[in-house]
Structure 1
Amino acid sequence: MSSSVESLLAAAVGGVGGTTRPGQVEMATAVARAIDTEEHLLVQAGTGTGKSLAYLVPAVEHAQRTGRPAVVATATLALQAQIVDRDMPRLADSLAGQVKRRPTYAIVKGRRNYVCKHKVEGGFPDEDEGMFDIGEVDAAAGRLGKEVVRVREWAAETESGDRDELVPGVSEKAWRQVSVSAQECLGSKCPMVAECFVERSREAAKDVDIIVTNHSFMAIDAFEGRPMLPEHDVLVIDEAHELVDRVTSTVTDELTPGGIRAAAKRARKYAESDDALDDLAGDLEAVLEQAPEGRLTAGIPDSLASILGRCRDVGRTLLTQMKPPKGENVDGPRQIALAAVDELHETAGRMLEEHELDVIWVSRDTRRGPVLRVAPMSVAMRMRERIFGCGATDEDESVRDRTVILTSATLELGGTFDAVAGTLGLRGPGSPEWTGLDVGSPFDYSQQGIAYVAEHLPAPGRDGLAPQTLDEIEALVRAAGGRTLGLFSSMRAAREASEAMRERLDEEFTVRCQGEETIGTLVRDFARDPKTILFGTLTLWQGVDVPGSACQLVLIDRIPFPRPDDPLSSARTQEIARRGGNGFMAVSATHAALRLAQGAGRLIRKGDDRGVVAFLDNRMIKARYAGFLQRSLPPFWPTTDRELVLGALRRLDQIAPEVQAVADPAKRGMTGQPVAGDPGPADGARTAVTQGEGWSTQDDDELRDGVDLGLPLAELAVSLARGESAVAARAKALGLAVPSRG
C-alpha cells in the first residue's frame, strides 16, 4: 500500500513539474497507514511541505479502492479554493492513467450559498423583506434593486445556483432575496425539491472521490442530527488548529432583543400571541442593558430567568398556533416564521437548563446592542463521540468506523501533541487510539531566521506601549529598511504603534494599520513596497502569506494570552483548576503558544526567505512557562543580543532582492483566472476611512440609497453591517441627512 501511494504521489507532484519532498512522502505514507489501520492521525506539517497532496493522494486511492468518498474539511475559503481550483484538477490530470478512473471531486456548502428556485419562482410571496420583480424596480431602490434584478436574472440561467459563480457578486441583503437557510427550507415538502440546486449538488457529491467542505458545515453534519454529507469513512481536517474554535462557534446560541422583535414580526400573520414577544424584547433589553458584560458566574438572575421562561413558554404556544390548518402544507413565509420562533424557544430552553458545561454571558455588540450567549465550556467529549466515533452507538456505525486525519503547521505545542489532543477529546479515560507525527519542514529555520527577545524592555502593562518599546520598534524598523509586519495583541496597541511610527519615521516609510483598508488591499500594498510596514492584530497573525523580501521582520508586542475576562477561557481555566489541573497552562498558555506559532510562521514562507522574529515581551525567556512557548515555535536561532539583530537586519536590507507582489483576488475568480465582465477594483476601492472602517464606492451608494428611501439610522447600520456611530459619521461627511427614527 505505501509503495502504491508513494508512486501515485510522485506522479501527482511530477504532473506539475515538481519532485516529492521527504516530509511529504512520510506524511502520505502515514495517512495511508492510518486509513488502513483505522487509527486516527495528527500530522504537523510545516509550511512548504506540500501537505495537501500528501493527504489527497491516499484519500483518492482509498475512495477508488472502496467506493466510499473521503471528506476534506478546511477552516478558510482560501484553502477550499486552492484544493478545488488547483490541487484536485492537477492531481486528476496526473493520476488519470494511474488509477481506475479519473479522480473526481466536489465542494459541498451550506444551503445559504445556493439560489432557492422556489423562492425565485414566488414561493415566499409574503416574506418581510419582499422580492423585487424584474421590470418593477422602483428607482429609489437604487443599487439594491438593481442587484436583486441581476441576481434573479442570473438565477434563471445558472446551472449550479452557487453564489461563488455570480461575478461580480452582490450584497448580502440582495442575496437573501433568492436564498433560504437550512431552518427556513421546506425540505421534502418543497414543490420544487426535484429541481433544488442544493439537493442536486449533494446527490452529485455521493459519487465523487473527494468532497471538500468547511469546519462549520462538517460540525453541523456531526452535531445537529441533520446529516448533510454523504456517508464516509475517511475525514481529513486541514487547518486543524482552528477546529475547536469553529466547532464551539457552531454550537453557540444567542438571544437578542432585535432577534425577538424580528421573530414577532414574522409570526404576526399566523398567531395571536405575537405581541407577547414584542413585550419580551423590551423586557430583555432593559435587563441586559443593566447587566455587566461577562459571564453570569452566579447563575441566571431571577429577573432574567423570568424573561427566559416566558420566552420559552410563549415560543411553545406560538409554534402550536402557527401550524397550518389540517391538510394544508407549510408555505415559505410560514416556514420562515416557524424557524425564527423555534430558535427562540430552543435557545431560551437551553439557557434555563443551566447545564454544568454550558457558559452563559452578556456581551455588547456595536450594531445589535446587548447579546445573551450560551456556549459549551468544552467540546472535547462531543467531538470524541460525534467526530472520532468513540462511544458511538450501532446506529452511528459510519461515525464509529471512520478514520480522522488532522493536519496543520501548528499542532505540536510545547514539544508534544498533548495540549491540542486534549482539546479535541483525544486524551483521558476512554479516548480513542491515535498517533502523532511531525514531518518537519523543508525550511532550515536555524539558518533562515533569528528569534530575538528584547530582554531589556519592561514587562508589558495595561497602560499601552511603554516608551522604551516604541523606541525598540523604531530601531528595528529602521534597521530592516521597512519590510516589517507588526503583530499586536490588541487593536489599541496596533493603532498606538502606528500613530507613533508615523510621527517618528517621517516620510521615509509608509505605515499601514489594520482597519484602515480591507485586509486584502493592505497585504497587497505591503507586499509590493519594501518601505511599507503593516501593523495589525488577530487576522494578520494567521492570514498573511507574503514570501520574499517585503517581510524580513515580524514584530510581536506581547505574549497573546486570552483576555482575563473572556467568558469561555476563564470558565475552562477554573474548571480545570477545580479538578486539580493547571488551568493556566492548559488554557492560557496553550492559546498563547498556538497564536505565537502562527504569528512567527509569517516570517519564512519559502526556501530562500531570511529575517527576524522580534518578541518585545521578556516573559518569553524569563517566565516559568517560557520553555513551553519556545518549544512551540519554529526552531529559529535564538538571541537576546540587540546589536547583533540590528546588524543582521541592516545586512538583509542591503542585499534584499526585489519584492514579490501578491495576486489581486479582487480581479480574479475562484479559479484564479481573470473574470470576464469583472469591474475590477472600482466598486471595492476605498473612498474614505471613518472610525477605523473603510468605505467603498458601493458602501457610499448603498448609504445614499438607504437615505433616499427614508431608512432610519438603526436600519442603515444593520444593512451596512456597521455601527450606528460610524454610519452617522460617514453620512455627515457625505452631506446626507439620516432620520433617527423610521
Structure 2
Amino acid sequence: MHPLDDSPRGLERPRKRVPFAVVPDENSADETPTGPPATAPADLPGADLPGVEELLDAAVGSLGGSERPGQLAMARSVTRALAEGEHLAVQAGTGTGKSLAYLVPAVRHAVAEREAVVVSTATIALQRQLVDRDLPRLREALDGLLPRDISFAILKGRRNYLCRHKAAAGFPDDEPDQLFDAREVGVTGRMVQRIQEWADETETGDRDELVPGVNEQAWRQFSVSAKECLGAQRCPSGAECFTELARQRAGESDIVVTNHALLAIDAMEEFAVLPEHGAVVVDEAHELVDRVTSIVTDELSEAGVALAVRRIARLVDQPLADRLQEAGEDLKALLAAAPAGRVDELPEVLGATLALVRDAARVCVTALGPRGADKDDPDSAAARKIAFTALDEVHDTAVRMLEAFGHADEVDRADVVWLEAGTDRRPPTLKVAPLTVGGMLRDTLFGDRTVVLTSATLALGGTFDGLARQWGLPDGHWTGLDVGSPFDHARSGILYTARHLPQPGRDGLPQAYLDEIAELVEAAGGRTLGLFSSMRAARAAADALGDRLGVPLLCQGDDSTSLLVKEFAEDEETCLFGTLSLWQGVDVPGPSLRLVIIDRIPFPRPDDPLTSARQRHVAAKGGNGFMAVAATHAALLLAQGAGRLLRSQTDKGVIAVLDPRFSTARYASFLRDSLPPYWTTADPDVARAALKRLRDS
C-alpha cells in the first residue's frame, strides 16, 4: 500500500536499513531501547548524582514533551562515553531531540567532574538556540535535582568582539587601498559611526548583538585577530577587554558553547583559547572537516603583501619596505598572467617569485627588532604587533607553498596549492590547504579528551567509517551509534527517482528536466523547495518556469535568504529555488513544503582544486578516491537536502531526484543508503498522484 494513499497499488518495496545499534523506532511497541544502564555504577564519577534517565525525564517533562527511545538511547551512550573516555559518533535523525540527549549527560558530567564540557557547533543559529533557549530551559528544569545551578557561556573567536583599544584609535588604520564605490563608502561610514555609538553602550562587545549588522569592512576597524592582540597584561584596555571577559565567563561555566573554528584553533595552537576541559561535544559534526580545513587554509596575493608594506611603514628603513613591495608587484604580475586551477608542479618562475616574497618579508621581520619591545608604549607596541602579524602571514605562507612541492611520491604530499581567479573586488589569489585534516585532529582534538560527535547525517552508505577516517578517529577507540528517527519515513515520504530522464549535462538544465519540474510542482500546487547544484541552474529554472507554473516562485538572490525562507513558509503555494545554503538551512514544517526537488547528484566540480587533489591523494594511497571524496561529499549533501522534507511528525511529501544516476550508477546504492528509509519509486505517475492527494487533502 502506498504510504500516502489508502488505495492498493503495486509499488516498489521500501528499502531496509540496517542500523549500527539495535535501537528501536518510537513506533515499535514491543522492544525497549538498548544501551548502558541509566544510573551510573557506584565506581563511576557522579555516582551520588541522579542518573541521566531521571535528569532527562525531568528536562523533557518540563518542556511538555514525551519520552523518545532514540533520545534516551543517545543520552545513555553519551553518559557512558564521557565516563569511560571513549569517543562516540551518534547519528540522530530529525525529531530525536539530540540537543537534550547530549546536554543532559554533559551537564551531569560537568557537575560531577567539576570541569567544563565544550559544545561546538557549525552555525550561529544553533549556538544561539543552545544559549538562548535550550540551556536556560534545562537549568530551570534541573533546579533542585543537582547540588547547584548549572552555568553556561558562549565563546567566539577574538575577531567577533569589539577591541576597546582599537576603538579608541590605539591601532593604526589597516584598511587596504582599494577603489570603492562612493555610495558604498558612505554606507560603510554610517556603519562605522553606528559601531562607535554602540561601543559606548554594549556590555559584551559581541558583534552578533549589533542589530542590524554591519559589513566586514566596517567591523575590521574595531576588531583584532588573536595574533594582533597585545594581550591583557600589556593593553591599556586589558582590564575591560570584551574577549577576556567572555573567556572569564567561560572559565567559570559548566557548558561552554563555541564553534568548530575556535575548537580547531584551541586544539592546534600552542596557546589555550578555550578553558580547561576534558570533554567535547561536536554537534553538526558533518561540517567539522570543512570548517577545520578553512581554518588551516592560507592564501597569498599582492593585496596581502601590500597590507604588510603599509603596516611596516615608518617602522623599517624605506629600502626594505620597497623590496617587499617590489616582490608583491612581481607576484601580482605573475598571478595575473597565470591560469586558474591546481598547481601540481612548481614552475620555476613561481618558485623564484615566492622566494623573493619570503626573503623580503624575513628581512623586514629582522628589521623590526625583538618581539615584545616597547612594553611601556602601548601604541607603539600595537603598531609593531600588527606589523609582525602581517609579515609572519606573508612569510609563513610563502614558505608553506614552497614546501608543498618537491615530493617524489604523491603519498608524501601534505598540501595542495592552487590559483583562484580574481574578481572585480578581489585579485588573483594563491591558496594552500591540507590534503587531509584527520592526522592533525587525531593528534590534537582526539588526543587527550573525550569527544562525542553527532548530527542527523553521519552514517554515509550505511557506515560511519567514511567520516571517521576524515575526522581522524583513532582505530579501536570509538563507537558508532545510529539511534534512528521518530519519523516513519516509509509511510510519510516517497523518494522518487526520474529514471526516464537523460543524464544531466554541462549545458544547463535540459528541457525534459524543466518539464518534469513543472509537472511535479503543478501536482503539488506549489509547496516546492527546489535544490539545485548551481546558482546558474536555479536561476535558469526560475526564469523558464516563472510564468508557466501559475504559483509564486522565489529564487535565491532575489532577497536575503532568511526573508525568502520566511515568505516561502508563510504562503503555502509559494515555491523557492536555490542552491547550497538551502540544502542545509531550511526548516519549514507543515503544508508549505510537500515537495523537495533535487536536480542532480551534488558532486563537487571536477575542476575543484582541493577535492580533486584529495581524490588523487586517496587513490595514491590505494583507496577509492572517488568514493572517499566525491561520493561522500554528494551523500552528505543529499542527506541534508532530503532532510528538509520531514520536519515534524505530521509532515508528508515527496523527494524527487531528477538525476537518473541516482538509480542506475554503480555508486547509487551508497547514495541511497545514506538517506532515511523512504518509500522508493521510479514511476512519475505515482509521485504526481501522491502530491495531488496531499494538495487536495
Instruction: Tell me, yes or no, whether TM beats 0.5.
Output: yes
Letter in 1 for 2:611: S
Q: Which residue of 2 aligns with 1:331?
A: 381
Q: Which residue of 2 aligns with 1:26?
A: 73
Letter in 2 for 1:524: K
Deviation at 1:129, TM superposition (A): 4.7
Letter in 1 for 2:419: V
Q: Which residue of 2 aligns with 1:157?
A: 201
2:402 to 336, 352, 355: 352
Q: Quick check: 1:386 aligned with 2:436? A: no
Q: Which residue of 2 aligns with 1:64?
A: 111
Deviation at 1:128, TM superposition (A): 4.3
- Structure 2 CA distance, aligned partners of 1:592 and 1:141? 41
Deviation at 1:324, TM superposition (A): 6.8
Q: Which residue of 1 aligns with 2:306?
A: 261
Question: Structure 1 stretch 27-36 or stretch 463-472: which is displaced more?
Answer: 463-472
Deviation at 1:140, TM superposition (A): 12
Superposed, 1:87-102 pairs within 5 Å as: 87-102=134-149
Quick one: structure 1 residues 615 and 170, their matched pair in 2 at CA, closer, same or farther if it must change by over 3 Å?
closer
Deviation at 1:141, TM superposition (A): 7.5
Q: Which residue of 1 aligns with 2:644?
A: 602
1:61-93 Cα deviation digits (max 9, x unpaired): 010011110000000000000000000000001
Deviation at 1:528, TM superposition (A): 1.3
Letter in 1 for 2:509: L
Structure 1: gaps of 5 or more residues:
131-138, 390-399, 656-742
TM-score by length of 2: 0.88
Quick one: structure 1 residues 194 and 418, their matched pair in 2 at CA, closer, same or farther if it must change by over 3 Å?
same
Quick one: structure 1 residues 233 and 121, their matched pair in 2 at CA, closer, same or farther if it must change by over 3 Å?
same
Q: Which residue of 2 aligns with 1:218?
A: 263
Q: Which residue of 2 aligns with 1:246?
A: 291
Contact 2:89–2:481 (CA under 8 A) maintained in structure 1: yes
2:93 to 36, 42, 46: 46
TM-score by length of 1: 0.82
SS state at 1:437 partner: strand
Q: Quick check: 1:412 aligned with 2:459? A: yes
- Structure 2 CA distance, aligned partners of 1:603 and 1:22? 22
Letter in 1 for 2:205: G
Deviation at 1:189, TM superposition (A): 2.2
Quick one: structure 1 residues 90 and 327, their matched pair in 2 at CA, closer, same or farther if it must change by over 3 Å?
closer
Contact 2:495–2:679 (CA under 8 A) maintained in structure 1: yes
Quick one: structure 1 residues 18 and 313, their matched pair in 2 at CA, closer, same or farther if it must change by over 3 Å?
same
- Structure 2 CA distance, aligned partners of 1:9 and 1:403? 21
Deviation at 1:326, TM superposition (A): 9.4
Quick one: structure 1 residues 384 and 519, their matched pair in 2 at CA, closer, same or farther if it must change by over 3 Å?
same
Q: Which residue of 2 aligns with 1:732?
A: none
Q: Which residue of 2 aligns with 1:275?
A: 322
Q: Which residue of 2 aligns with 1:284?
A: 331
- Structure 2 CA distance, aligned partners of 1:344 and 1:431? 37
Structure 2: gaps of 5 or more residues:
1-36, 40-50, 177-182, 406-412
Deviation at 1:432, TM superposition (A): 5.0
- Structure 2 CA distance, aligned partners of 1:225 and 1:34? 27
Contact 1:123–1:331 (CA under 8 A) maintained in structure 2: no
- Structure 2 CA distance, aligned partners of 1:236 and 1:146? 40
- Structure 1 CA distance, aligned partners of 2:167 and 2:370? 23
SS state at 2:200 partner: helix
Question: Structure 1 stretch 263-272 or stretch 546-555: which is displaced more?
Answer: 263-272
Deviation at 1:520, TM superposition (A): 0.5
Deviation at 1:260, TM superposition (A): 1.1
- Structure 2 CA distance, aligned partners of 1:48 and 1:141? 46
2:575 to 509, 529, 533: 533
Quick one: structure 1 residues 108 and 432, their matched pair in 2 at CA, closer, same or farther if it must change by over 3 Å?
farther
- Structure 1 CA distance, aligned partners of 2:626 and 2:282? 27
Deviation at 1:143, TM superposition (A): 4.8
Quick one: structure 1 residues 87 and 140, their matched pair in 2 at CA, closer, same or farther if it must change by over 3 Å?
closer
SS state at 1:331 partner: helix
Deviation at 1:172, TM superposition (A): 2.9
2:432 to 374, 380, 393: 374
Letter in 2 for 1:652: L
Quick one: structure 1 residues 51 and 326, their matched pair in 2 at CA, closer, same or farther if it must change by over 3 Å?
closer
Contact 1:117–1:192 (CA under 8 A) maintained in structure 2: yes
Deviation at 1:194, TM superposition (A): 2.3
- Structure 2 CA distance, aligned partners of 1:145 and 1:580? 55
- Structure 2 CA distance, aligned partners of 1:53 and 1:519? 28
Aligned length: 629
1:78-120 Cα deviation digits (max 9, x unpaired): 0000000000000001112110111100000111121212223
Q: Which residue of 2 aligns with 1:437?
A: 481
Q: Which residue of 1 aligns with 2:356?
A: 310
Contact 2:174–2:307 (CA under 8 A) maintained in structure 1: no
- Structure 1 CA distance, aligned partners of 2:339 and 2:211? 45
Quick one: structure 1 residues 610 and 100, their matched pair in 2 at CA, closer, same or farther if it must change by over 3 Å?
same
Quick one: structure 1 residues 436 and 197, their matched pair in 2 at CA, closer, same or farther if it must change by over 3 Å?
same
Identity %: 57
Q: Quick check: 1:2 aligned with 2:64? A: no
Q: Which residue of 2 aligns with 1:739?
A: none
Q: Quick check: 1:512 aligned with 2:554? A: yes
1:230-271 Cα deviation digits (max 9, x unpaired): 111110000000000000010000001111112111212211
* Structure with more relative contact order (C-alpha pairs < 8 Å, separation 6 or more): 2
1:5-61 Cα deviation digits (max 9, x unpaired): 011011111112222311111100000000111100000000111100110000000
Letter in 2 for 1:120: A
Contact 2:491–2:678 (CA under 8 A) maintained in structure 1: yes
